[in-house]
Amino acid sequence: MNILAFLILGLLTSLLFPPYFFFPLGFLIFPILCFLIEKNNSKTNKINIFKYSFFYSFGLLISFLFWMQNPFFVYSETKNLFFLFIILIVFLSLIFSTIFLFFINYNNLLNIVFILPLIFTISEFIISILLYGFPWITFSLIVANNNLFLISFKYFGTLITSYFVIQIFCLPYLIFTKTKFNNQLYVFVILSTLPVLATIVQNFKLDENIITTEEITLELFQLNYDNKINKNNSTKLENIIELLRNSDSEILIFAENNYPFLIDNVKLDVIQKNIKNKQTVIIGGTRIDENHYYNTLLNINKSEINYFDKKILVPFGEFLPLRNYLNKFELITGPNDYTPGKIDRLINVQNKISYIPVICYEIIFYWKILDKLNYNANFIVNITNDIWFGKFLGPYQHLYLTKIRAAEFNKPIIRVSNNGISAIIDKNGKIIKSTQLNQVQVLKYKLKLENNKNYFKIHKYLKIYFFIICIFIIIFNLKKINDDRKISI
């Protein structure tokens, strides 16, 4: 019965995320979760805690990541392998339940209301960096549709926002149980509050002295091309050329892999011949150089061609890990791997205007996008092809992950997806314009360029502070357990 209860709670938790956003449900789910954990927390039976947390995580992830089966159905050769996505669900659930067991088993200091948000946040962090990393799973997504709550990303970043979201959901359990704070919890609250207040005060200066330099006209093309290489490729290119000829915008942006032919040594005369002198075309394609394949964003104007090669590739999508041992999975990835790019993540357009190129799901790796070189770039361009993600969950989750990046980096993001959802997102994470999923659409917009500051570096310091607190909590808990054992002896 307990297994079923935890499984159902996990399934219900997925309804807090996009595209559902049943936010009030969190104030019911997490207090019940606190109650069930306290009720079933037996120091003599660790297996139960591990088992219950595993089924909770499995219920959440099987629903939240159900879209991951869709890529297997794009081609008939791989449809029989769709069950492999369950292996990822089980693996992630095992990570969560292991962390859960560790903290619950060794916690003699904090109330369940305070230890539970730590468990979720640490699990999110470890899943983000372990092996290749999968930072798609973040509880901060729960508030990604609320323009007011998006301010939290600007102040605190993704990870700390996740912590606050879960902590707020757990607080009603204190009222329900009439729990009183002890001195140790007061210290914990004070230690948490001081850096938060200092960050808020500093971030209030975020929008001071903003100078609007100029405007540029953007045009976004959502072409909804299929993924197959076939005889229609010439027609696809002709369609792109026609769109170029008819546009008077300054920057024309197409999606990931919209250029329908392999690009050999970046010879793209056909594009350059059909654009005006002050126009720039941004388009994704597959580039081949010395037998290496690259997923490339091309930046083309009349006089030159720049490009950025995708650095963070999709395992089992763009490359096959341990290919010598897992060659049976070549049906999924094909016989050739893409090669990670090495070019700096910055492209200059004109008149000192620059943008940060991001290809597809690179946008979820928030700690790998900004660096010293591109910190002051004017905006971000994210090209993607979400046709792999299905028609419901995946594309919306990907869009909202992009939204929170805009607020977190305090930079506008221009998102162009082959099949949708394409969007113009302002520096606060608000969607200004967007397209419909699986439609052929064009968006035109005048983007104001500002010298926006951001406090992404402060987010790093907050994360360090957060983990220092976690380490101290573990140390104090272990010390208390050791002292209790000495007393009992």
Q: Exposure of 231 by Cβ count < 10 A (0-12 exposed, 13-18 middle, 19+ buried)? A: exposed
- Residue 405 pLDDT grade (very low, low, confident, very high; cuts 50, 70, 90): very high
DSSP codes, 188-220: HHHHHHHHHHHHHHHHTTTTTT--EEEEEEEEE
Mean of per-residue pLDDT scores for the chain: 86
What is the tens place of the pLDDT at every residue in 163-204?
999 999 998 988 777 665 555 566 566 656 766 666 666 656
In whole angstroms, give the CA distance from residue 11 to residue 21: 14
CA-CA-CA-CA torsion for 36, 38, 41, 47, nearest 10 degrees? 30
The amino acid at 18: P
35-49, 60-74, 387-401, 474-488: segment of lowest average pLDDT: 474-488
The C-alpha angle 413, 418, 421, rounded to 5 degrees, equals 55
The per-residue pLDDT for 391 is 85
The per-residue pLDDT for 318 is 83
The amino acid at 433: K
Cβ(349)–Cβ(280) below 8 Å: yes
Domain-by-domain residue ranges, the chain?
Answer: 2-205+458-488, 212-454
Give the residue from 12, 128, 120, 121 showing the smallest Cα distance to 63. 12
Cβ(343)–Cβ(308) below 8 Å: yes
- Residues with Cβ within 8 Å of 483's Cβ and at least 6 positions away in sequence, in order, are none
pLDDT score of 32 more than 80: yes
Q: Is this prediction's pTM over 0.95?
A: no
CA-CA-CA-CA torsion for 112, 117, 120, 123, nearest 10 degrees? -100
Chain position carrying tokens 């290749």: 132
Q: In a 3-state reduction of DSSP, which class is residue 81?
A: helix
In whole angstroms, give the CA distance from residue 408 to residue 346: 18
What is the tens place of the pLDDT at every residue in 52-96?
999 999 999 999 999 988 888 777 777 777 788 899 999 999 999
The amino acid at 427: K
Domain spanning 212-454: which CATH class is it, in words? alpha beta
CA-CA-CA-CA torsion for 438, 440, 444, 447, nearest 10 degrees? 30
In whole angstroms, give the CA distance from residue 255 to residue 360: 9
| DSSP state for residue 313 in the 8-state scheme | P
Of 474 and 127, more confident:
127
Residue 192, number of CB atoms within 10 A of its CB: 18
The per-residue pLDDT for 100 is 93
The amino acid at 99: I
DSSP codes, 351-364: TT-EEEEEEGGGGG
In whole angstroms, give the CA distance from residue 402 to residue 137: 13
- Residue 420 pLDDT grade (very low, low, confident, very high; cuts 50, 70, 90): confident
CA 357 and chain centroid, separation:
16
The per-residue pLDDT for 202 is 61
In whole angstroms, give the CA distance from residue 364 to residue 106: 32
83-99 exposure pattern, b = at least 16 Cβ within 10 A, e = fewer:
eebeeebeebbeebbeb
Give the residue from 93, 199, 118, 133 showing the smallest Cα distance to 366. 133
Q: In a 3-state reduction of DSSP, which class is residue 449?
A: strand
User: For residue 217, what are its two tokens?
Assistant: 């006209």
- Residues with Cβ within 8 Å of 141's Cβ and at least 6 positions away in sequence, in order, are 17, 18, 397, 400, 401, 404
In whole angstroms, give the CA distance from residue 150 to residue 410: 11
What is the tens place of the pLDDT at every residue in 262-285?
888 667 888 999 999 889 999 999
What is the tens place of the pLDDT at every residue in 201-241?
665 665 555 556 688 999 999 999 987 656 578 889 999 99
pLDDT score of 320 more than 80: no
147-151, 160-164, 366-370, 428-432: segment of lowest average pLDDT: 147-151
Taking 3-state DSSP, the helix, strand and coil percentages for the chain, each rounded to the nearest 5, stand at 50, 15, 35
Residue 428, number of CB atoms within 10 A of its CB: 17
Where helices occur in 171-296 by DSSP H, the ranges are 172-177, 183-203, 233-245, 269-272
Q: In a 3-state reduction of DSSP, which class is residue 416?
A: strand
